[in-house]
Structure 1
Amino acid sequence: MLDSTRLTHPTVLLAGTALLVVFALVLWRAGSRRRAADQDVFKLLGTSAKAPRQRVATSPVDLSRALRGDADWRAIRTHARDAAYLRAVETVRNRYQIVNDPMLLSNTLRTTMERWGLSFRDAVIRVAEDDGLR
């Protein structure tokens, strides 16, 4: 006759091993989910999803009102001194004086800064190149 302890001994070992494997897989998957959540791109960069809008530098003029007069243009010119920016300022000034809509430039610059998360300098250059709204 067969001894019942011989049959149950390997069965118990096999069932115990299967439970350990299942338990290890559950723990491993839970850890990988936790690691994936911790490795959010914004967290890795040390920032948040709202940061581009928060990082936008303030402009030298108030963009909530129309740009009028030499004082506004003087402030815009002195904001940065590199050649690309100065060329962009003159291009934008000439273009928007022809249009003769004093609020259009303020709206365009503000929208470009918000949409692309650009500084004032970069927004002026983008608007000079392609109106910034593409």
Structure 2
Amino acid sequence: MTSRETPAPPSFAPREQSPVRVPDALAPLFAHHPEALPLLQQARVGLQTLSGLPDVQVEMVTLAALLALGAPAEAFHAHTVRARELGLSEDEIWGVFEALAVIVGIPRLVAAVPSVAAALEAVRSEGASDD
């Protein structure tokens, strides 16, 4: 390779055990540019792989970031379900929110907790057991 050639980006094998559902709210974007969805998915999976963190830790960090950002209910639902599918217990999921309560504040908790509780109930209703 010469000094002017750019190395090819590394290839990452997808490692998702349970993909995150794409929110309905994004349908107009992906209808406009269908190629955007696989690009976003590749970037997310590639960067998460590069992080070296196991999927369960990535999901805990994701839940924490969603809380800090004041994400919409759909995001909490999708990632709470995925966290359970990856093996996180309800106690571990609630632990994320308890650990951040003082940092993010009560308004963020009030906005997030109902969505997380509903997602956990949905998972329980489908027969998943709590570790």
- Whether TM exceeds 0.5 here: the answer is no
TM-score (norm 1): 0.24
Q: Which has the higher helix share?
A: 1
TM-score (norm 2): 0.24
